[in-house]
Structure 1
Amino acid sequence: MTAAQPQKPASPPSGALPRVLVVDDSAVVRGLTARWIEADARLELAGTCADGEQGVRRAGELQPDLVVLDVEMPRMDGLAALPLILKAAPRARVVMASTLTRSGAQVTVRALSLGAADYAAKPEAGKVAGAEAYREELLRKLLALSPRAAAPVRAAPSAPLAAPRPASALAAKPSLIAIGSSTGGPQALREVLAHLPADTRAPVLITQHMPKLFTAILAEHLSKLGLPAAEAQDGEPLRAGRVYLAPGDWHMTVRTGPEGFHAVLDQGPQVNFCRPAVDPLFKSLAAAAGRNVLAVVLTGMGADGREGARALRAAGAPVIVQDQATSVVWGMPGAVAEAGLADMILPLKEIGPQIVRRLKGLP
């Protein structure tokens, strides 16, 4: 994997830079990643390691803000090292570096459910174009996860709630539940879905920013929580008590048909630089089901979901967002909250129980 040396971005304001530890058994990838970080004036390279055991030890010694952790390594792989690194450096945010293979995706999705903040897809060896895309993705995610990125955001309580609506409107039992998530989403989704009972009387639709293969594996993991979960199929009728994920590289929307609501998949242009994206799902639900939808926006970078939440609010549907304190990145939920489109801003642990209350017709 090779790539041209990028131009050094402008220096950030004064103050300590986010410190990054790179853990990768490939000397080529490790050195290239280190050079990318050293070339970016917004980041500082804390150190490099060749395997998970070294990574755990150096994380404890260096206390980095960010860790780039390879998935497949000798002696101790990324999945085994992850919990030990998080214990040794509790404030560190870990980005898993994974190849786009089924084995790599399986380990990465497992790591995301165990506390890794995000992942970046490593290209095949020798692909220059893939290396450049990996560099851009990795640096973007490291910067979004850094303490510097989180610090300027104002506290969640100051975000405006949406204009109050009659209690009767908020107490209506939803016919569909729609959830949008991105960075930190797999772990947040596990927390939310774990609260939903087997007799949940609504389909649950999820758009999680992930590539193909990863979404199928995420569905397998979520199925273990109780409700059956799978990638949605085009034209598939939506059944209560089932979880439908937008497949990677496909937008998922909802329309009404002879059998009620059904899923529609398309590969239209990216929305908010994403496919799948949350806005198409939310907007389609506003048109198809209106106030009978309960929408939830979980942790994630960017503003995907804001315009969809606007459409749902206009149609009379309630919108819940995750609060800043429990979000890995308060981008998506923050965008909805700051636009005054959130009926409730809740800690992650309260969102699942709140969905259950709404399904019972309670405010």
Structure 2
Amino acid sequence: MQVPVEKSKATRKTSVFVVDDSLVYRNLLRNMFTQDEEIEFLGAAIDGKFALPKIAQLRPDFVILDVEMPQMNGIQTLEEIKAQFPETQVIMLSSRTQEGAKITMKALDMGAIDFVPKPDGTQEGALSETLDSLTSKIKSIRSQKSDSKPLPDKKPIAYLPFRNRQDKEFSLCAIGISTGGPIALRELFLRLPSDLNGSIVIAQHMPPLFTNYLAESLSQAANMRVKEAEDGEDLKKGVAYIAPGGKQLEIIPGPEGPRTRVFQGPEEELCKPSVNILFKSLADNFAKETVAIIMTGMGEDGYLGLKELKKKGSYLIAQNRESCTVFGMPNRPVQEGLIDEVLDVERIADKIAYILQKVDLHG
């Protein structure tokens, strides 16, 4: 008698369950997932009340969860999923409204791994982009989870002078981050002290509205002020600035030192905000004062900027594979040897504190 061969984890499809009160979106997601050879569509429900029994029975890898629903909304449903089925990953479907953005940030604080904003209207191009983004996130997060190994026990850090930079002081920390970013940033800022003698600037891939609420959420949780960057601000020590969603952020020289430039272009740049644009502006103007950190995210945004920073003497850090939601953005810089240190989020926070507590801002 031939014994059935068990499918390997590598060939097992990623299972998905959808919770959304919109029949249009339930059908769109059903059609998309059932046509994907790597994804198993388990079903859909109109809201959390109907979804939870099915989730308990089916145990999906991912739940795609709408924010606004009757009877049992996305936040209430997320709370129950994280309490009862902690292994299930949740991606939120958010409306592009102030209330939608605010609720989504709360959902990320509660354990949702990421979100996808619903497009305005039902334009075919916008819908296609949203659906493609959702599918890419599911596959990238699942692949990362399958590849990751448990983090080793941490040993005490003995910080040494920077490689060939013993006499150098740093006053700027630049962070590039995407998928899984809000969770990683929250962990990072919870560990940072309030007395940093330097500024932090962040490019987090997010649409308009969402970055403002991300900044508010981080500022409420952290020991330091976190704000959405405005055009023409002089950077202040102990403050973190997040690039506005849908726009670009550069750091340029001003009369008092480093200053923000917030602008719309260039049109050909797909990421808004772009890590490359932020990093390249620092390479052009403040390379030797900058520590740049590339963290969790899909794609390669930040790679070109890191190459410029490396040429001009910046110190470069990457988040390690094991602690990333998706080890996409750090991967190529690490593989090509651009990075000076590869650390988990906790040690990145410790290193920022070590670096920026040692100096007085801008001389």
TM range (shorter): 0.7 to 0.9
Residue matched to 1:339? 336
Determine the C-alpha separation between the residues in 1 that align with 2:267 and 2:332.
19
- Alignment of 1:122 with 2:118, yes or no, is yes
Q: With structure 1 as the length reference, what TM-score do the two structures score?
A: 0.87
Deviation readout 1:337-360 (Å, 9 max, x if unpaired): 112111111112221111111224
Deviation readout 1:200-232 (Å, 9 max, x if unpaired): 111110110001111111111111113222221
Residues 127-136 or 171-180, more deviating: 127-136
State whether residues 59 and 88 of structure 1, in contact with CA within 8 Å, keep that contact through their aligned partners in structure 2: no
Q: With structure 2 as the length reference, what TM-score do the two structures score?
A: 0.87
CA 1:353 to 1:128, structure 2 compared with 1: closer, same or farther past 3 Å?
same
- Alignment of 1:95 with 2:99, yes or no, is no
Residue matched to 2:141? 145
Measured after TM superposition, the shift of residue 14 of structure 1 is 7.8
CA 1:173 to 1:61, structure 2 compared with 1: closer, same or farther past 3 Å?
farther
Determine the C-alpha separation between the residues in 2 that align with 1:170 and 1:111.
43
Residue matched to 1:16? 12
The amino acid across from 2:119 in the alignment is P
Measured after TM superposition, the shift of residue 320 of structure 1 is 1.3
- Structure 1 portions without partners, runs of 5+: 1-12, 158-163
Residue matched to 1:319? 316
Residue matched to 1:288? 285
**Superposed counterparts of 1:173-252, under 5 Å:** 173-224=169-220, 225-252=222-249
Deviation readout 1:59-95 (Å, 9 max, x if unpaired): 2322211211101112221122223223433333221
Determine the C-alpha separation between the residues in 2 that align with 1:273 and 1:318.
26
State whether residues 309 and 341 of structure 1, in contact with CA within 8 Å, keep that contact through their aligned partners in structure 2: yes
State whether residues 68 and 96 of structure 1, in contact with CA within 8 Å, keep that contact through their aligned partners in structure 2: yes
Q: CA RMSD for the aligned pairs? A: 2.6
CA 1:196 to 1:166, structure 2 compared with 1: closer, same or farther past 3 Å?
closer
The amino acid across from 1:145 in the alignment is I
Residues 180-189 or 228-237, more deviating: 228-237
State whether residues 219 and 226 of structure 2, in contact with CA within 8 Å, keep that contact through their aligned partners in structure 1: yes
Measured after TM superposition, the shift of residue 315 of structure 1 is 1.6
Determine the C-alpha separation between the residues in 1 that align with 2:166 and 2:55.
47
Residue matched to 1:55? 51
Residue matched to 2:259? 262
Could you tell me which of 24, 43, 46 is aligned with 2:42?
Answer: 46
Determine the C-alpha separation between the residues in 1 that align with 2:183 and 2:111.
7
Could you tell me which of 78, 103, 110 is aligned with 1:107?
Answer: 103
CA 1:221 to 1:154, structure 2 compared with 1: closer, same or farther past 3 Å?
closer
State whether residues 285 and 312 of structure 1, in contact with CA within 8 Å, keep that contact through their aligned partners in structure 2: yes
The amino acid across from 1:303 in the alignment is E
State whether residues 279 and 305 of structure 2, in contact with CA within 8 Å, keep that contact through their aligned partners in structure 1: yes
The amino acid across from 1:52 in the alignment is G
SS in 2 for 1:265: strand
State whether residues 178 and 296 of structure 1, in contact with CA within 8 Å, keep that contact through their aligned partners in structure 2: yes
**Superposed counterparts of 1:66-77, under 5 Å:** 66-77=62-73
Residue matched to 2:4? none
The number of aligned residues is: 343
Determine the C-alpha separation between the residues in 1 that align with 2:188 and 2:166.
19
Could you tell me which of 263, 276, 279 is aligned with 1:279?
Answer: 276
The amino acid across from 1:106 in the alignment is K
Could you tell me which of 58, 74, 91 is aligned with 1:78?
Answer: 74
CA 1:121 to 1:171, structure 2 compared with 1: closer, same or farther past 3 Å?
farther
Measured after TM superposition, the shift of residue 194 of structure 1 is 1.8
CA 1:324 to 1:54, structure 2 compared with 1: closer, same or farther past 3 Å?
farther
Determine the C-alpha separation between the residues in 2 that align with 1:155 and 1:267.
41
Determine the C-alpha separation between the residues in 1 that align with 2:267 and 2:344.
30
Determine the C-alpha separation between the residues in 2 that align with 1:361 and 1:216.
30
CA 1:360 to 1:239, structure 2 compared with 1: closer, same or farther past 3 Å?
closer
Residues 184-193 or 123-132, more deviating: 123-132
The amino acid across from 2:290 in the alignment is V
The amino acid across from 1:20 in the alignment is V
Measured after TM superposition, the shift of residue 168 of structure 1 is 5.1
Could you tell me which of 25, 34, 59 is aligned with 1:29?
Answer: 25
Determine the C-alpha separation between the residues in 2 that align with 1:75 and 1:155.
39
Deviation readout 1:164-204 (Å, 9 max, x if unpaired): 99645167431111111101101111111122222211111
